[in-house]
Amino acid sequence: MISSLIKVEHMTGNMIIKNASQLVTCSGFKAKQGKAMSNLHIIADGAVVIENGRIIDVGKTEEVLERVTESDYKTIDATGKSVLPGFVDSHTHFVFGGYRAEEFSWRLGGEDYMEIMNRGGGIAATVAATREASKEELIKSGRKRLESMLSFGVTTVEGKSGYGLDEGTEIKQLEVMRELDDIHPIDIVRTFLGAHAIPEDFKGREGQFIDYMADDIMPQVTNRNLAEFCDVFCEKEVFSVEQSKKLLIKAKELGFKLKIHADEIFPLGGTELAAEVGVISADHLLHASDNGIAELAKCGIVATLLPGTAFSLKEAYARGRFIIDQGCAVALATDFNPGSCFTESIPLIFVLATLYMGITIEEAVTALTINGAAAVDRADRIGSIDVGKAGDVIILEFPSYKYIPYHIGVSCVEKVIKNGNLVFDKENQMNR
C-alpha cells in the first residue's frame, strides 16, 4: 500500500489514466435528484488527464492522447478496469476514544438503542473515553481509520465532533481532525456536533445545554475556523425540534453550514425542520414523513441515507426507492462510529443499499460520488471526473462498476489517486 505522509494537495501531480474499460465520470457540478441519479455519463475506452492536481481533459483514449504529450505525465494503463471518481463518505464519527464491543452483544440479546443509552452505554460511554484520550492517542487511532477508508476508495470524508459534550473535548476532536487533514491524503470536512447527546450534568436542563453550546462553544469553534458545518441530533429523548431549531439558527448566524440527524428512531419532524432552516443535508431519515421528503426534494436538500446503521441496529431501512422517486437527491454514507455502526466499509454500504433499499447500482454510484460531494457542499470541486475538478480517482480491479456490490462486502478498489498522485495501490502493496 502507498500512503502519503504529507497532504497530497501540497504535492499535486501530473497523471494520465488511459484505456479504461469504463470511465464512469458521474459528470455534474451539483447534486443529482430523482431520475437523474441513474445517469453515470460513462465513456468506454476512456482516459483522464490530471495536471497540477486538477483534471484538464476527459474523453476517449485515442482522442485524449492526441491532445497531450504522454511522456510529460505519469501513466496508468487501466485496460480491463473501471475508473470512477473517489468516493465521498459524507457522514462519519471517526475520531473517538474507546470501543463499545460489549454493546453489540447487548443488542444481540434484544436491547434497543435507547435502552442501551439509558443504562450508561451508547454515546455517553464514548464521551467518557474520548474525554480521557489525549490528542496524540486520537490522532494515532484516527489516522489508522483513515488508512482503512482510503483502501475502500474514499478520498473525502466528513468527520463530526460530539464525543465531548464539553468545551475542551469538542475543541480537541476538531483540532485532531484539522491535524489529520494536514497530514493525510484524505480531505476531511469538519462538523461540530456538540449537541449529540445530553451529558449527565445537564439532565433535565436540555434547553440550558443548547444555550451552552450556542453561546459558549460555537463562537469559539467558528472564530478558530475549526468546523465548516454544525449538526444536531434531533430525536425523541435527545433534542426536540424546537431546541434543534434554536441551535441551527444560531449556527447559521455564526456562519456555519447546516446538517441534521433527523427522524432516525422516531418520526419527530426533524425532516420538516431540515427544510425550514435550509440544511445542506438531512441524515438518517428512517422515519421521515412523506411530507418531509417532499420538502427535501422541493428545497434541493441532500437526503443522506445510512444503511449500515439500520443493518447494525436491526431496524427497518430508510425508504431509499421512495425517496429517490419523490425527486430527492440521495447520498449514501457509512455513519462510521464506535456504537451503532462500527464499519467504514463502502462495499457493505453499497450492497445494503442495492439489496434492501431498492436503490439501483447506478444510483448508488451517484450517491457515493457527486451526491456525497453535494452533501458536504463540494460538488463544484469533487465527486465527478470533470474538467476543472480535483484529480481524485479510483481504479477498480474489474472492468465494470457493477462488481462493487457483486463482490459482496469486499473492496475491489485497486488504486486510489488523490490530486493526481497515487496514494493507495493494492496491486503492488508498496510502502513509502
Number of domains in the chain: 2
115-119's contacts with Cβ under 8 Å and 24+ in sequence apart are: 116/339, 117/197, 117/237
Q: Mind listing the pLDDT tens digit for each residue in 131-163?
A: 999 999 999 999 999 999 999 999 999 999 999
Sign of torsion, CA 7 12 14 15?
positive
The answer on 190 and 81 residing in a single domain is: no
Q: Is there a single domain that holds both residue 69 and residue 92?
A: no
What integer pLDDT is reported at residue 108 of this predicted model?
87
pLDDT of residue 102: 87
For the chain, what is the radius of gyration of the CA atoms? 21
d(CA 18, CA 16): 6
- Whether residues 60 and 142 share a domain: the answer is no
pLDDT of residue 10: 62
The answer on 113 and 63 residing in a single domain is no
- Same domain flag for 94 and 61: no
User: Could you tell me which residues come within 8 angstroms of residue 275 by beta carbon, excluding any fewer than 6 positions away?
Assistant: 282, 292, 295, 296, 298, 299, 301
Does some domain include residue 211?
yes
Domain termination site, one of 375, 399, 417? 375
| Amino acid 315: pLDDT | 93
39-69 pLDDT, tens digit per residue, is 999 999 999 999 999 999 999 999 999 999 9
| Per-chain mean pLDDT for the chain | 95
**CATH number of domain containing 350:** 3.20.20.140
Cell numbers 462510529: residue: 337
Model confidence at 83: pLDDT above 70: yes
196 and 304 in a single domain? The answer is: yes
**SS3 (DSSP) at 16:** strand
pLDDT at 372 over 70: yes
**1 domain residue, yes or no:** no
> 431 in a domain, yes or no?
no
**Rounded Cα gap, residues 353 and 360, in angstroms:** 8
- 109 and 59: one domain? no
Burial class (CB in 10 A: 0-12, 13-18, 19+), 67: exposed
Q: Select from 333, 351, 375 the last residue of a domain.
A: 375
Q: Which pLDDT belongs to residue 110?
A: 86
pLDDT of residue 432: 39
Decide: helix, strand or coil at residue 97.
coil
Residues 221 and 290 in one domain: yes
58 and 95, same structural domain? no
Indicate which CATH number applies to the domain containing 32.
Answer: 2.30.40.10
Does 414 lie in the same domain as 278? no
Residue 279 lies in a domain: yes
Query: Quick check: is 25 in a domain?
Result: yes
What mean pLDDT is predicted for residues 348-366? 98
Which of 74, 45, 68 has the alpha carbon at shortest distance from 56? Answer: 68
Residue with the three cell numbers 435527545:
238
- The percentage of the chain sitting over the pLDDT mark of 70, rounded to a whole number, equals 97
Name the burial class of residue 314, with classes exposed (0-12), middle (13-18) and buried (19+) by CB atoms within 10 angstroms of its CB: exposed
Residue 166 has pLDDT above 90, yes or no: yes
358 and 327, same domain (yes or no): yes
**Residue 343 within any structural domain of the chain:** yes
Are the CB atoms for 366 and 28 separated by under 8 Å? no
Given a contact cutoff of 8 angstroms between Cβ atoms, the answer to whether 372 and 332 are in contact is yes
Q: Is residue 158 part of a domain?
A: yes
Q: What angle do CA 398, 335, 408 make, to 5 degrees?
A: 30
Q: Is 431 a residue whose pLDDT tops 60?
A: no
**265-269: average pLDDT:** 96
Are residue 388 and residue 301 in the same domain, yes or no? no
Q: Which spans in 331-402 are helix H? A: 346-356, 361-367, 370-375
Task: Place 8 in a pLDDT band, splitting at 50, 70 and 90.
Answer: low
Domain residues for the domain of 364 are 88-375
Cα(371)–Cα(170) distance, integer angstroms:
28
